[in-house]
Amino acid sequence: MDRYVYAFTEGGRDMADLLGGKGANLAEMTRMGLPVPPGFTVTTEACRAFLATGTEPDSLAREISDHLTALEEAAGRRLGQPDDPLLLSVRSGARFSMPGMMETILDIGLNDESVLGLAKTSGNERFAWDSYRRLLQMFGSTVMGVDSALFETVMARLKEARGAVDDLGLDTADLAGLVEAYKELIRQETGEYFPQSPAEQLRQAVLAVFESWNGERARLYRRREHIPDDLGTAVNVQTMVFGNLGPESGSGVAFTRDPATGARGVYGDYLPNAQGEDVVAGIRNTVPLDELGRLNPEAFAQLGDHMRTLETHYRDLCDIEFTIERGRLWMLQTRVGKRTAEAAFAIAAELVDEGLITTEEGLARVSGDGLARLMFPRFDTSAVGDALAHGIPASPGAAVGAAVFDSAEAVRRAATGEKVVLVRQETTPDDLPGMVAAQAVLTSRGGKTSHAAVVARGMGKVCVCGAEEIAVDPQERRFTVGGTTVEEGTVVSVDGSEGAVYAGAAPLVDSAVMRYFETGEASAGLVDAVDGAMRQADGVRRLGVRANADTPEDAARARRFGAEGIGLCRTEHMFLGDRRQLVEAMILARTDTERERSLKALLPLQRQDFIGILEAMDGLPVTIRLLDPPLHEFLPDRTELAVRLAAAEAHGSPPSTHDAELLDAVNRMHEENPMLGLRGVRLGLVAPGLVAMQVRAIAEAVVERKRAGGDPRAEIMVPLIDTVEELRLVREEVEQVLAEVSTHSGVPVECPIGTMIELPRAALTAGRIAEEAQFFSFGTNDLTQTTWGFSRDDVEAAFFSTYLDKGIFKVSPFETIDRDGVGRLVQIAVAEGRAARPGLKIGVCGEHGGDPDSVHYFHAVGLDYVSCSPFRVPVARLEAGRAAL
């Protein structure tokens, strides 16, 4: 038979699915012999059964009653016993922490009689009536559905009448009066009486917690955090202990180390004469935990012992909630605590040093995302004071600028060189120009997958979204938060790594981690911890890590960052700037001679580029891709040209023949879908001499590097292959040029010739293609675009936020590899490619090569290397190591 309730003495931390995180950890602490007020947990399974059917499972009431009896026997008093009541707290606790999203009801068991008993046994009448009014308030709003603001209003009126500034200004008689007023309020609002039966209170409270799983707040939170909707919550029923019984009592929260920096030592806040709820709600100001050492040295020392015990047991940073009741310490909650990226590295390194965890475990506890965050400059928060507001850290980095409230203003001010921060309730595709112009984007609504977040991440722009405390008023062009108003033009600082906004220009500090990667010098502290993790990752990873780089500078940086070669050198980037005209001339050439002339002019320029890159990557492979994008990208805009010609005609001046020719060429080459048009290998097959010129530049660069005593390792890669026939034709041409340069120079030039696999047909026919290809590199950008039929340039801004909100996918497939679809093509191509050519070298050079989740996938499907932008190289190294654990 199903069992729905477990005493704390029966569970353990490995039962979090059933008991929720909180219940499992309460059970674990109970087992460890720590002072946990006794109680029991109603399982998530009971919640699921209740939510599915709308009624509680048959055996639940009996099980709860049995466990309650056991509690009562152990305590020697009954729930709500009139002369000496046992009181209970009822709290939610799901598998994954959902802070503040569900319900808590304290002081279950109080009624008109037992309040008098509590007053007597506690010797504190005021406390008893205050507890009763708290129960009425929580029970009334949570269980009986009375608007909680109505309770606040009654209380506020009373305080005003008494001239009291806070709750402490109300005396026993006031609180007893408040109890009557609350009971009456409940009756008026619901037509029902507050249940005087303690057992009935308990039953209803448990069901209310179940129901809170489907509350609007909770559902929204789950969607944001990608927590499944069908898990349900457990309910923890626990004997009340009281931190509000006088100065000898109090409540606090604590961490076994500093969760911001990882520094050793106990950190936390303490609030004398208060319940845990008061600490979290921030009603009164807490004192640093150290103060407890002065107030109650014994409890403080005990707390320290317990925390060390917990950290050793959990082998990780723990956070806890505790209460001291008349000098006696009680542990109310613990869990492995959240921490910043910096603390994650520092703590992992220290725990390894302390011998508490293995080096592998240390590596598992840090992440590429965390590392990426540490590579950005940050604000010196010690110099800025409190944040103005907090939101969701949606896109990392730190930026300073004048607040502006619409896209047009952002563009206008940015054009004058002013730095701006675009502040919106939420962004839409109309805000794009403003987002491009801004240093950072700040929104008051929306989560990590909102339009602002998705687009900002795509652009590498700092973004904080869902900063709900701020009220944005685009009409008045200002936002308000607390008592502060920020008018348009006021400078603010946005920390996209931590999700914070500051008033004024916060001072920036460079990233020590970035400096470490640039210089290779490890020092103490965080950098040392990062260094250790990188070494560990490099020691275990099987995937190679290369960089996408097309200048000698990028190549050199990539190498400093640990790249083991270049996986993609995009040669089109070498045709920009001044060279555009040469390309234009090549495209416009009317005769072979004219075309050859412009190709000849390009040749030495390209050769020089390749020499620089091969030198920077001496001894390491450099995969050079032949020209890929549509040629018309090198020509002027069609509309602009037409307007220019029309304007000339309108002024009666003779039309420029150059412009006329250009327009003619642009018209001839215009494509409706250039991404699916004349690009990649197709270009090389259609434009005579283009492939030969590029290959000659590569080969001559190799010769030159060899003559200089270098060890150039160029590889030639053909883009956008659909069929093996295309590759065969190009390969013949490439080999011919390589042979010519070898013969002519007397220096042997051997470059492996491979292909990108970036179209579904290529993946599906990879076995054939491998007969002609010496290596494969997955172009997962195009492969994603063509598998999904999503234009990679348009869809993210156009409709991805809607898709993400609707849960069609959890993350953009351009960011993280779509394992089911695109991944399947990758697997087919790997299997069939290697079957045809054993040992075929296979990498990936799409954006996914630097995405942590995708790196794990590429490891799993047996690629040889990933290639990503130089700044992502350390992230890929770290994740490749973690993938190998």
Q: Which residues bind Mg ion (CB under 5 A)?
A: 758, 779, 782
Task: Determine which residue in the list 239, 571, 780, 812 makes contact with ligand PEP, applying CB under 6 A.
Answer: 780
Check: CB of residue 9 under 8 Å from CB of residue 30.
yes
Q: Which two tokens stand for residue 771?
A: 């007969």
Q: Is 781 in the site for ligand PEP (CB under 6 A)?
A: yes
Residue with tokens 């290639």: 867
Does 782 sit near ligand PEP (CB under 6 A)? yes
Terminal-residue alpha carbon distance, the chain: 40
Binding partner of 311, given Mg ion, ligand PEP, none, CB within 5-8 angstroms per partner class: none
Stretch that binds ligand PEP, among 306-314, 578-586, 764-772, 773-781 (CB under 6 A): 773-781
Closest contact distance (angstroms) between CB of 91 and Mg ion is 53
570 binds, among ligand PEP, Mg ion, none (CB under 5 to 8 A by kind): ligand PEP
- DSSP secondary structure letters along 322-361: EEEETTEEEEEEEEEPP--HHHHHHHHHHHHHTTSS-HHH
- Please say whether the beta carbons of 335 and 310 come within 8 A: no
615 three-class SS: helix
From Mg ion, ligand PEP, none, interface partner of 796 (C-beta below 5 to 8 A by class): none
Nearer to Mg ion, 125 or 758 (CB): 758
Q: Which stretch binds ligand PEP (CB under 6 A): 14-22, 183-191, 286-294, 775-783?
A: 775-783
Least distance between ligand PEP and beta carbon 556 (Å): 21
864 binds, among ligand PEP, Mg ion, none (CB under 5 to 8 A by kind): none
The CB-of-876 to ligand PEP minimum distance in angstroms stands at 15
Q: Binders of ligand PEP: how many residues, by CB under 6 A?
A: 10
The distance of Cα 846 from the centroid of its chain, to the nearest Å, equals: 20
Distance CA 335, CA 597 (A): 71
Evaluated on CA atoms 413, 414, 420, 421, the torsion sign reads positive
Cα angle 509, 513, 514 (rounded to 5 degrees) comes to 80
> How many DSSP H helices and E strands does the chain contain?
36, 31
* Sign of the dihedral defined by the CA atoms of residues 330, 332, 336, 339, in that order: negative
Comparison of 11 and 846: residue with beta carbon closer to ligand PEP:
846
User: Which string of DSSP letters, residue by residue, matches 201-267?
Assistant: HHHHHHHHHHHHTTSHHHHHHHHHHT--TTS-EEEEEEE---S-SSTT-EEEEEEEE-TTT--EEEE
Smaller CB separation from Mg ion, 80 or 754: 754
Task: Report residue 797 CA to chain centroid gap.
Answer: 19
Q: Which residues pair with 268 in a beta bridge?
A: 254
DSSP annotation of 193? P
Which of Mg ion, ligand PEP, none binds 846 (CB below 5-8 Å, type-dependent)?
ligand PEP
Is 843 exposed, middle or buried (CB count within 10 Å of its CB: 0-12, 13-18, 19+)? buried
Closest separation in Å from C-beta 785 to ligand PEP: 7
Q: Which stretch binds ligand PEP (CB under 6 A): 130-138, 685-693, 778-786, 819-827?
A: 778-786
CB of 718 to ligand PEP, least distance (A): 12
At residue 463, the 3 state secondary structure works out as: strand
Q: Which does 102 bind (CB under 5 to 8 A by kind): Mg ion, ligand PEP, none?
A: none
Numbered residues of the known binding site for substrate = 570, 625, 758, 779-782
Query: For residues 90 and 549, which CB has a smaller minimum distance to Mg ion in the complex?
Result: 549
Q: Contact, 251 vs 243, CB < 8 A?
A: yes
Q: Pick the closer one to ligand PEP by CB: 44 or 786.
A: 786
Residue closer to ligand PEP (CB basis): 531 or 758: 758
Give the HSE-up count for residue 200: Cα atoms under 13 Å, Cβ half-sphere. Answer: 7
Look at residue 81 and give its three-state secondary structure: coil
Residue 269 or 758: the one with the smaller Cβ distance to Mg ion is: 758
Least distance CB 628 / ligand PEP (angstroms)? 6
What is the pairing mode between strands 39-42 and 233-239?
Answer: antiparallel
CB 829 → ligand PEP: shortest distance, Å? 14
Q: Which residues are annotated as a binding site?
A: 570, 625, 758, 779-782
Nearer to Mg ion, 704 or 758 (CB): 758
272 DSSP β-pair partners: 250
Q: How far apart are CA 789 and CA 55, in angstroms?
A: 46
Report how far residue 240's alpha carbon sits from residue 80's, in angstroms, rounded to the nearest whole number: 12
Q: CA 27, CA 40: separation in Å to the nearest integer?
A: 9
Binding-site residues for Mg(2+), in ranges, read 758, 782
Binding window for ligand PEP (CB under 6 A); candidates: 290-298, 301-309, 454-462, 779-787: 779-787
Helix H segments across 354-397? 359-364, 368-374
CA angle 418, 423, 425 (to 5 degrees): 165
Half-sphere exposure of 676 (CA within 13 A, CB side): 10
The entry of Mg ion, ligand PEP, none near residue 845 (CB within 5 to 8 angstroms by kind) is ligand PEP
Partner from ligand PEP, Mg ion, none contacting 568, C-beta within 5 to 8 A by type: ligand PEP
Site track 730-759 with ligand PEP (rule: CB under 6 A), x = hit: ----------------------------x-
Least spacing, CB of residue 765 vs Mg ion, in Å: 18
State yes or no: residue 779 binds ligand PEP (CB under 6 A).
yes
Q: Which is nearer to ligand PEP, 278 or 572 (CB)?
A: 572
Asked if residues 437 and 420 have their Cβ atoms less than 8 Å apart, the reply is: yes
- 358 or 791, CB closer to ligand PEP? 791
780 binds, among ligand PEP, Mg ion, none (CB under 5 to 8 A by kind): ligand PEP
b (16+ CB within 10 A) / e for 437-465: bbbbbbbbbbbbbbbbbbbbbbbebbbbb
3-state secondary structure of 819: coil
As measured in angstroms, the least distance from the Cβ of 845 to ligand PEP is 4
One symbol per residue from 552 to 591: x for binding ligand PEP (CB under 6 A), - otherwise; what is it?
----------------x-x---------------------
Residue from 846, 850, 870, 874 touching ligand PEP (CB under 6 A): that is: 846
- Our finding on whether 28 is near ligand PEP (CB under 6 A) is no
For ligand PEP, the binding residue among 90, 845, 868, 880 (CB under 6 A) is: 845
- Closest CB to ligand PEP among residues 270, 776: 776
Give the C-alpha separation, 54 to 48, whole Å. 10
User: Is 44 among the residues that bind ligand PEP (CB under 6 A)?
Assistant: no
Catalytic positions? 451, 845
* Shortest separation between residue 790's beta carbon and ligand PEP, angstroms: 13
DSSP conformation class of 86: B
| DSSP-assigned states of every residue in 789-813 | T--TTTHIIIIIHHHHHTTS-SS-T
Q: Which of residues 624-663 bind ligand PEP (CB under 6 A)?
A: 628
CB 568 → Mg ion: shortest distance, Å? 9
682 contributes a contact to ligand PEP by CB under 6 A: no
CB-neighbour burial class of residue 191 (10 A; exposed 0-12, middle 13-18, buried 19+): exposed
Is residue 186 classed exposed, middle or buried when 0-12, 13-18 and 19+ CB atoms within 10 A define those classes? buried
List residues binding ligand PEP (CB under 6 A).
Answer: 568, 570, 628, 758, 779-782, 845-846
